[in-house]
Amino acid sequence: MKIDVPEKWDKEYDVVVVGWGSAGTAAAVTAHDQGAKVLILEKMANGGGNSSICGGNIIVPKGKEFLEYLETLSFKTTEREILETFAEEALKNGDWIRQMGADVQVFRPLEVAYPTMIAGAGFPHVRGAENVVKYNIKGTPEEGKPSQRLWKFLSGLVAKRGIQVLTSAPAQELVPNARGEIVGVIAQREGKRISVKARRGVILTCGGYENDPWMKWDYLPVKPLHFLGTPGNSGDGIRMAQKIGADLWHMTRLACLIGFKAPEFEAAFWVAFLSEGFLFVDKYGRRFVNEAGIEIHEYYKELSHFDIEKMEYPRIPLWAIFDEQTRKRGPLSRGTAGYNRDLYSWSLDNSAEIGKGWIQQGKTVTELASKISMESKVLEETLARFNHLCKAGKDEDFGRPREDLRALEAPFYAIQLWPSLINTQGGPRRDKESRVLYPDGKPIPRLYAAGELGSIWGFLYQGACNIGEALVFGRIAGKNAAAEKPWA
Amino acid sequence: MRIVMAGTVLAERNFIVNANPDRVWRLIGKVIFSVLPGMESMEILDENNFRSLLRVKMMGFEWVLKLRGEMVDISPPESFSVRLLLEGLGGLVKADQKVSLAMTPAENGKTSVACRAATEDMGFLQRVFLSGQARAFARETFEAIERRLKELA
């Protein structure tokens, strides 16, 4: 489809950044500091995207051997030179943050919850894993969660420089000229179409497609998938890039947890258990996994089993069954991260959620099974077997470690859980210079991308790397876009 | 490793676990939280801070105290401390304790675990009436940590 270059532009800048999260900020700040006049277009009423509601950790690897780890995780889905660039530049993330006026602290979490947020590598057996070190912006709990501190720092950089941000202004189209150079962006603001000229370049940093049901259905390996992050990520950058002929990559990749979906909330709630007293069962009441052994970003891999005969995913949704001690221990959704964090305060003993019917309660297994429409005999057998294994101190069925086992006692509770996206990783293919590429590998002139939109994560994902990558390739994109010669 | 702490020592305990320090380090966080008796409504404020309610028996009655904990001086896999601030009974009970654990390699791949609890701040009346309870609580917690670690090692 042809997009005409406007004869008269509504606004004119050197560099236009589409999307205001970590990548957008790093790109805009770097371009600005190189002398470019920068505009950020943000679809939502506020910036932050997933960066302001995620775990807030940033990879700063210990050494260059981190590259070996990256190569194994990528499973040959990302070129070595791109991984090399990431490994080298991620080493500088901490220094960049310090140069920008904040400080960092090593992430050393309380490893008390299931799923467990861990300090080190998600795949510790892989060569080079010891180089994974996560940091976050230094601060106290009173100064906010790590991601709140991150966003306060990043948005402050934009404010301090007076970089112009247009919020509630979704970008809709990229504007190529006759030579195929991307020379501007068409956006929507207050019901009007606005054209923004980009004299030097356009940088796409507008996230993935967690909130686009059709793209998810088409590309991702489990169905349905809810999302934990921002509803603003609905594939806009992908559609814009496709329209001008960009290649796509990593479209089937995702970072995925489990979450509870309440109909009155757009996003799902991130759920974690603060005690060992819980187990997962499929929709028929059968246990299927070592619940304590799933890598926190790779839950979908355990849920993607498809039953050909029944033509269904028997583990979607799954049910988590837990007991009174676990209920009282703490809230199932802790507000560590997720879009709902600021919208709802989960009760500390989960009683409010029982009252709402989000959590089902039964004095006996039979009563609980009846409430969740499950065959009680199967659930009774599953629970009896689980308790037997806990008391024996050995999970012969799925290998859950002894320290993570505790037999459940009545009364029992159940919550329905769904695979829930932290983010998708796919989008326009890019090179080590953050340039967006055509299918033949040639760069699309003056178009750059960074962040979760077409990220480098093509197979397995290491936690804290999406933010780390957003900063790295955001900086590169900002530097390169600002260095382009103005086309007019 | 020797733990150096200011304040009045409430309890100390040393024991050997039949596992290497890395394994003990991986177990210790979850073990502490699973053996602390009566901990409820735990709220994790960030990766190193939590608050919860603590149901304890004192002077023949059950009381609910507010507990705020902070993981400090974390040095994997050797040592860490948890600073515990306890408050209850309308402000009558206030205590600031630091529980420290140090893990050092012992012979044959085992680990020596040194536990120590000390008060950082306790008023005169509370020292008179509650230090015995605090000592007993710390002692019982260390015993439970030892028992559970040895079970799992």
Instruction: Give B87-122 pLDDT, tens digit per residue.
Output: 887 777 778 889 999 999 999 999 999 999 998 766
* Residue A178: burial class (beta carbons within 10 Å; 0-12, 13-18, 19+): exposed
> Could you tell me the sign of the dihedral formed by the alpha carbons of A430, A431, A433, A437, in that order?
negative
pLDDT at A348 over 70: yes
Helix spans in A220-263 (H):
236-243
Average pLDDT of the residues in A462-483: 98
* Chain A neighbors of B42, CB-CB under 8 A: 112, 274, 329-330, 348
pLDDT of residue A119: 87
Taking 80 as the threshold, does the pLDDT of residue A438 lie above it?
yes
Would you say residue A328 has pLDDT above 80?
yes
What confidence score (pLDDT) does residue B3 get?
42
| Mean pLDDT, rounded, for A122-127 | 95
Which pLDDT score is estimated for A64?
85
Q: CA of A69 to nearest chain B CA: how many angstroms apart?
A: 21
**Poorest-pLDDT segment among A87-91, A137-141, A393-397, A431-435:** A137-141
Torsion of CA A46, A50, A52, A53, to 10 degrees: 120
Structure confidence at residue A255 as a pLDDT band (50, 70, 90): very high
A346: nearest CA partner in chain B:
B43
Q: Which helix (H) or strand (E) is A469 found in, with range?
A: helix A465-483
| Beta pairing class for A427-428 and A248-249 | antiparallel
**pLDDT exceeds cutoff 70 at A167:** yes
DSSP conformational letter for A327: H
Give the mean model confidence (pLDDT) for residues B4-24.
84
Closest Cα partner for A333 from A279, A384, A275, A259? Answer: A259
Q: Which of residues 452-481 of A touch B (CB under 8 A)?
A: none
Say yes or no to pLDDT of B126 above 70.
no
For chain A positions 260-289, those within 8 Å of chain B (CB to CB) are 274-276
B30 with A404: Cβ contact below 8 A: yes
Helix, coil or strand: residue A293: coil
- Residues of chain B contacting residue A329, judged by C-beta atoms under 8 Å apart: 39-42
| Range from A220-229, A458-467, B2-11, B49-58 carrying the lowest mean pLDDT | B2-11
The reply to whether B123 touches chain A by the CB within 8 Å rule is: no
Q: What are phi and psi of A345, to 5 degrees?
A: -105, 110
Whether B49 and A329 lie within 8 Å, measured CB to CB? no
State pLDDT tens for residues A170-199: 999 999 999 999 999 999 999 999 999 999
Contact across the interface for A110 and B71, Cβ inside 8 Å = yes
Residue of A105, A107, A110 best to disrupt the B interface, most CBs of B under 10 A: A110
Rounded Cα–Cα distance for residues B60 and A415 (Å):
38
pLDDT at A190: 93
Q: What is the DSSP string of A21-59?
A: SHHHHHHHHHHHHTT--EEEE-SSSSS-GGGGTS---EE
The predicted-structure confidence for A56-74, as pLDDT tens digits, reads as follows 999 999 998 999 999 999 9
pLDDT at A354: 98
Please, is B144 exposed, middle or buried when counting C-beta atoms within 10 Å of its C-beta (0-12, 13-18, 19+)? middle
Whether residue B5 is predicted with pLDDT greater than 50 in this model: the reply is no
pLDDT, averaged across chain A: 96
pLDDT band, residue B80 (cuts 50/70/90): confident
Exposure class string for A149-161: b at 16+ Cβ within 10 A, else e: bbbbbbbebbeee
pLDDT of A142 higher than 80: yes
Q: What is the ipTM of this complex?
A: 0.84
Question: Phi and psi of A194, rounded to 5°?
Answer: -120, 145
Can you tell me the distance from the alpha carbon of A126 to that of A66, in angstroms, rounded to the nearest whole number? 10
Helix and strand counts by DSSP (H, E) for chain B:
2, 7
CB neighbour list of residue A417: distance below 8 Å, 6 or more residues apart = A258, A259, A260, A271, A280, A317, A318, A319, A320
Residue A43 contacts residue A169 (beta carbons within 8 Å): yes
Q: Express each pLDDT in A35-56 by its tens digit.
A: 999 999 999 999 999 999 999 9
The one-character DSSP state at A350 is S
CA nearest A274 in B: which residue? B42
* A110 with B41: Cβ contact below 8 A: no
Which residue from B26, B29, B151 is facing A112, i.e. has the nearest CB? Answer: B29
Query: Among residues of chain A, what percentage have pLDDT more than 70?
Result: 100
Give A321→chain B minimum CA distance, Å: 19
B residues 65-104 lying closer than 8 A (beta carbon) to A: 71, 74, 76
Least confident of A198-202, A281-285, A440-444, B59-63: B59-63
Which residue in the set B31, B49, B76 is minimally distant from A141, CB to CB? B49
Q: What is the rounded distance in angstroms from the CA atom of residue B21 to the CA atom of residue A172?
A: 56
- Tell me how far apart the alpha carbons of residues A74 and A62 are, in angstroms, rounded to a whole number: 19
How many Å lie between the alpha carbon of A4 and the closest alpha carbon of chain B?
50
Distance from CA of B128 to the nearest CA of A (A): 32
Q: Does A328 touch chain B (CB under 8 A)?
A: yes
Contact across the interface for A112 and B44, Cβ inside 8 Å = yes
Whether B47 has its CB under 8 Å from any CB of chain A: the answer is yes
**Residue-level pLDDT at B4:** 40
Q: Nearest-CA distance from A290 to chain B in Å? A: 17
- Interface contacts A/B by beta carbons within 8 Å: 72
> What pTM did the predictor assign?
0.93
Instruction: Please tell me the predicted confidence (pLDDT) of residue B123.
Output: 63
